[in-house]
Amino acid sequence: IHEIGPEIAASVESFFREERDLAVIASMKDLGVQVQDIAVQAAGTAKPFSGKIFVLTGTLDSMSRDEAKQKIESLGGRVTSSVSKNTDYVIAGTDPGSKLEKAHSFRVTVLDEAGFESLLSDNGFSEN
């Protein structure tokens, strides 16, 4: 895994070999903690949105903000709550508010929901 060295890898492996650690994980599952599998990307391959910063504003019709955030993160992007000169994209739904004005003042690329969905599909996002 990119950015994981041999010491950390050995530590993680050791954790999952310990019976008491596995018991803690089982207890957490019993208490309702849900574990979500994430796809492991081959070392040395960059995801399409790696290093890109996104801000969500307004209401999206086809998905919740959490769903949009998960989609962005699955492609390697990061979602922040405020627009800055470092922001790459602002995704503007209906009633976007002051973040849209700030995006324009910083000359940040603004996408509506259809543009965002196109960006996702153009970069290989798949629901499966």
Query: Does residue 90 surpass a pLDDT of 70?
Result: yes
Task: Give the chain as a 3 state SS string.
Answer: CCCCCHHHHHHHHHHHHCHHHHHHHHHHHHCCCCCCCCCCCCCCCCCCCCCCEEEEECECCCCCHHHHHHHHHHCCCEEECCCCCCCCEEEECECCCHHHHHHHHCCCEEECHHHHHHHHHHCCCCCC
What integer best gives the mean pLDDT of the chain? 89
Find the range with the poorest average confidence among 41-45, 81-85, 89-93.
41-45
Percent of the chain with pLDDT over 90: 67
The whole-number average pLDDT for the span 60-77 is 94
Strands 53-57 and 78-80: parallel
The pLDDT score that the predictor gives to residue 39 is: 54
Domain ranges of the chain: 1-41, 53-122
Q: How far apart are CA 41 and CA 69, in angstroms?
A: 19
Specify the pTM.
0.65
* Homologous superfamily in CATH for domain 53-122: BRCT domain (3.40.50.10190)
pLDDT, one tens digit per residue, over 10-32 is 998 999 999 999 999 899 888 88
Q: CA triplet 99, 87, 90: central angle to 5 degrees?
A: 45
